[in-house]
A and B are shown apart, each in its own frame.
Chain A
Amino acid sequence: MSLQRLNEVRRSFLADLEAAGSDAEALEAVRVRYAGRRSGLLQELTAALRELPNGEKRDYGRALNELKKLVDSQLREAKRRTAAASAAGSRPMVDVTLPGRRPPRGAEHPVHLVRRRIETIFLRMGYSVEDGPEIEDDWHNFEALNLPPDHPARDDQDTFYLPGGSLLRTHTSPVQARVMEEYEPPIRIVVPGRVYRRDSDLRHSPMFHQLEGLVVDEGITFGHLKATLETFLKELFHGVEVRFRPSYFPFTEPSAEVDITCIFCGGKGCGVCSRSGWIEILGSGMVDPRVFEKLGVDAERYTGFAFGLGLDRVAMLLFGIPDLRLMFSGDQRVARQFA
């Protein structure tokens, strides 16, 4: 009978508490009603203890204590909540529009960004990326590539010489020669790197970057060269048209200059493309059999193609950098734009 009463009080307390929510006045009323010193229900229930027969006192006492604890803790929790809710109105607010504390952000130089983009395209096509010395000998830089001493085409590649007859490579092609000396076909490589020519003006820097490619296997055709370079250029410069013009390089035959439709005017003609609508982007050709013979590759069995482009120029075109001198100035505001 009395334990039942305890349960009734417990239920009504929880119901009243919920009804009061976080309203401070209503909560105070609940407190007075249940835990008030004078006429609270808990006082009343405590008084009732004395009236009970001795055999029931122990259980009732224990249940009453639990009820008291519950009321106490619940009221306290409700009060904390209420206080927190009322305090919220005066708390300082974060200005979420302030700049964040960014971790520092580095940036790669545009010429290396472009290099790695191009490497990735070729790696996806199964090409390997090769490396070679910047200090070269005459054989690998010139002679093996069908540029004997006194060849007029050497005029186009003004060379820096070092003591002892070595030189700074004028193109990345000597790595082709080294690869052909070292590996048996099939060969499928690209070679990026720094190169040097004794030439300096608005459009030429004595140091610049090239990327060279070479494919050698049985049955490689001029059509393969065209398709490979078209695929590559359309991947790098989305949506351009590609055209091939006959040209001359001592180490390839036939040779082709490759143009893309001007990425600034879409081929309509502008200042950048000298109104032609085309931009010269790379040189290429079928490997001259004389080169194969010099490097010990069976020219009867194998054919191949090679190509080369200026990475600095491609970076300038791709990212719209107007002046070659910006590339090697060391101005951190150049690279920072590519973070």
Chain B
Amino acid sequence: MRFDAEWIRELLEGAPGRDELASKLTACGFNVEVREPDGDSEIWDVDVTTNRPDAMNHRGLAREAAVACGARLKPLEPGLEESGEAASDLVSVEIEAPELCGRYVARVVRGVRMAESPQWLAQRLERCGIRPINAIVDATNYVLMELGQPLHAFDLARVAGRRIVVRRAGQGETLTTLDGEKRALDPSHLVIADETHALALAGIMGGADSEIGGDTADVLIESAYFDPLTIRRGARTLGMHTEASHRFERGADPEMAPVAADVAAALIARLAGGTVCSGRVDVNPRPFRSAALELDTEKLGAFAGLEISVDESVRILEGLGFAPRVENGLVHVHVPSWRVDIERVQDLYEEIIRHVGYDAVPARLPVLPAVPGQRRGHWPLVDRARDAAVSVGLAEVVTYSFISPEQDEAASALPLVTAGPVTLDNPLARTQAIMRRSLLPGLAAAARLNLNQGETDLALFEEGRVFVLADGKPAEGERLGILLSGRTGPWDRREAVSFGDLKGLVEAIVERTGFPALTWKRDAAGALDEAEGAVLLGPGGRPAGYAGLLGTQVASKWELRQPVYVAELDLDRALAEVPLPHFHDLPRFPAVIADMTVEHPASLAYADLEAAVGRLASPLVERVELVVRYSGKGIEPGSVRTTLRVVYRHRERSLTQDEVNAEQEALRGRLASELNVRFA
């Protein structure tokens, strides 16, 4: 919020220089963020927090400054001269909705002549970011900036029956506000009306009908206290935000209403001539009652970690208007009408600690039980997956959790995408309207960006959440997504990325992350390439991931000009904890190795061949390794030649070559009878 620095200083007796004033205000909680020289003053942009509407004006801020700088806030002197008729003879006020309007004060100034504001006043308003209009409107704005009380000036001649009624709007009632907008209202809105119709939107904006104009002779000044929630909701539903609503919705000072009316009336008479009618009309159906609190400075000291004396506490509370009184060592206070944020004694602690100064509180580390910290929830798992992905050479990206409906649709045929999407009620843009159900859209978009940057060799991953509707309710899950494209390998062995490269990475990541046994099956869902797509199945055939070449149709949605391999793992299918490794005794007798070359139709999956060998081999087989896989020249079309290395070992003695030869021969026989294979 903008302030005129010299205006603040003028309200203080014994004001310090601007530099000291700025730093003291910052230190007590009103950060002077920007200081801009302007004539003989400075425009200050001060961060007044939303809980302090009382300091959203020069006098309120000066009160804080006085306590912070050891200065004195000058008393308020309206300088009011009344004469002639009584205001109450000229206008009547009726509050029909006292729950929405706690107080309504009216003053009348008669015989004004429209004029421009003097230079000094216009300049002050401009420093606060308010455009001067005419002396009367400017006077109300000036009082707002000085005292924080929003005012409204009506042309009394346009108030039918000279009767002000504060009431709820009727259903469908309309009002054209000062900005020229015709507003449709309902009973949740509070209006200021005359005998016939609504004149103003209470606490938000005046109406065009009763606006002050060049022919205005008699001015009715409204100075009221409106219910914060009503103003807030009203402004919100109408999409409005004004200086007045900003203050009323945060809480105005009900006791300021009559004072501000006096000050404004005096100022209008001074600037625009005319006479202030005697007395005010003051309807106060819910008089302010100050809350009483008791402060124990010992408790305060224990809370702050610093001993603070009763005298110091009293000095601060006195300056802030709490009228402290010490009795039996306790400080008794009354919460001033402008402090809407103070409800209980802890609220007083803050007042005192911030004025004692945060710097004065000694920093001392707490003594806490020496228990080791844990990483809970998903954190151990997702970071294990992240580490695994980094360890195999992938670079992490972080992409938005929301995507466009088209991107969501493009990814909807992926194996892990089964439940419906979660849509945002109020997205920022159509392209960010749907919560991602898969990490693929973000990775594909990242791939496109990288390709456009000339980065053609890609090895990316993202770890993050996906969102779906489960039983009609939004639910979230952890995923790891991988994208490979271009070439891979060291500089002198660079090769185009293949399915095998992708699978190797996925296998390594699965192993390091800790999953139950996963089987790779060809995927037929359609989003992946039909020849190079796999789904990873966990126990019970539940999909735990997929991996493969992105199908051309999906790839074209992201305009990916080169083949892109993708994989995604459902981390919620992973083991919560990786079991501790368990050491196996090293073998004491040598292994005997026997290679075996099998020729078989390409339709026989390697996993099935390997499984058959494992099932049919003698118990002396320790392991089976794949050595060579060959198809092409010299081999029947549609067939593959697979060389397996079978490693035999006995736990308690050395095996002879003859024994192994016999076992290997028997294995060949069993394989040939079970599978459609030949031996080369």
Contacts and interface: CB of A to CB of B under 8 A. Distances in A.
B366 A228 contact: yes
B50 interface: yes
B129 to A, nearest CB: 19
Given A104-B392, A106-B395, A336-B395, A134 B449 contact: no
A162 B472 CA distance: 12
Contacts, number: 256
B370 A332 contact: no
A102 B489 CA distance: 9
A223 B400 contact: no
A253 interface: yes
A80 interface: no
A293 B29 CA distance: 26
B398 A244 contact: no
Contacts of A303: 303
A231 B395 CA distance: 32
Interface in A121-168: 122-135, 150, 152-153, 155-156, 160-164, 166, 168
Nearest to A122: B373
Nearest to A126: B373
A174 to B, nearest CB: 13
Contact of A215 (B366, B397, B400): B366
Contact of A248 (B52, B450, B491): B52
A106 B389 contact: yes
Determine chain B's interface SS by DSSP, over half rule. mixed
B396 A133 contact: no
Nearest to B350: A254
B570 interface: no
Contacts of A226: 305, 358, 361-364
A158 B464 CA distance: 23
A129 B474 contact: no
B302 A101 contact: no
A332 B50 CA distance: 41
A250 B27 CA distance: 20
Interface string A109-129: 101100010010011111111
Interface string A269-300: 00000100000000000101100000000000
Interface string B32-70: 011000000000000001111000000000000000000
Given A104-B459, A129-B374, A163-B423, A327 B398 contact: yes
Interface residues of B, number: 99
Interface residues on A, range: 35 or more
B347 interface: yes
B398 A131 contact: no
Nearest to B29: A246
A217 B476 CA distance: 32
A101 B386 contact: no
A230 interface: yes
Given A161-B424, A227-B364, A289-B344, A254 B353 contact: yes
Contacts of A186: 368-369
Interface string A96-111: 0001111111111101
B372 A227 contact: no
Nearest to B399: A330
Given A104-B392, A194-B401, A329 B232 contact: no
Interface string B325-368: 00000000000000000001011011001100011011111101
A166 B474 contact: yes
A223 B424 contact: no
A166 to B, nearest CB: 6
Contacts of B349: 253-254
* Most-contacted residue by chain B among A107, A132, A220, A254 (CB, 10 A): A254
Interface in B14-39: 26-29, 31, 33-34
Contacts of B674: none
A286 B350 CA distance: 10
Interface in A70-109: 99-109
B191 to A, nearest CB: 20
B446 interface: yes
A186 to B, nearest CB: 6
* Most-contacted residue by chain A among B249, B304, B305, B362 (CB, 10 A): B305
Interface stretch (B92-100, B179-187, B375-383): B375-383
A244 B360 CA distance: 11
B376 A130 contact: yes
A217 B303 CA distance: 12
A124 B368 CA distance: 13
B397 A162 contact: no
Contacts of A55: none
Contact of B233 (A116, A150, A206): A150
Given A129-B373, A207-B401, A332 B358 contact: no
B232 A152 contact: yes
Contact of B375 (A123, A163, A288, A333): A123
Nearest to A152: B50
Contact of B364 (A106, A162, A221, A274): A221
Given A163-B425, A164-B473, A129 B376 contact: yes
Interface string B448-468: 011001010011110011010
A253 B350 contact: yes
B576 interface: no
Interface string B578-601: 000000000000000000000000
B428 A200 contact: yes
B140 to A, nearest CB: 23
Contact of A108 (B233, B390, B423, B491): B390
A105 B378 contact: no
Interface in A228-266: 228, 230-231, 243-248, 250, 253-257
Contacts of B425: 160-163
B374 A223 contact: no
B229 interface: yes
Interface in B464-486: 464-465, 467, 472-476
A57 B376 CA distance: 90
A313 interface: no
Given A129-B375, A223-B363, A303-B303, A150 B446 contact: no
B306 A223 contact: yes
B490 interface: yes
A58 interface: no
Contacts of A161: 424-426
Contacts of A129: 373-376, 379
Nearest to A101: B490
Contacts of A245: 26-27, 29, 31, 358
A278 to B, nearest CB: 10
Interface string B413-457: 000000000111111100010010000001101110110010100
Interface of A: 99-109, 111-112, 116, 119, 122-135, 150, 152-153, 155-156, 160-164, 166, 168, 186, 188, 194, 196, 198, 200, 206-207, 215, 217, 219-224, 226-228, 230-231, 243-248, 250, 253-257, 274, 286, 288-289, 303, 327-336, 339
Interface of B: 26-29, 31, 33-34, 49-52, 229, 232-233, 249-250, 302-306, 344, 346-347, 349-350, 353-354, 358-359, 361-366, 368-379, 383, 386, 389-402, 422-428, 432, 435, 442-443, 445-447, 449-450, 453, 455, 458-461, 464-465, 467, 472-476, 488, 490-493
Given A109-B398, A156-B50, A223-B306, 7 more contacts: A104-B393, A106-B394, A126-B372, A243-B359, A245-B358, A330-B449, A335-B397
6 contacts: A128-B374, A215-B366, A224-B364, A228-B366, A330-B443, A332-B455
9 A-B pairs with least C-beta separation: A131-B377, A104-B393, A330-B446, A223-B305, A246-B29, A221-B305, A248-B49, A106-B390, A101-B490
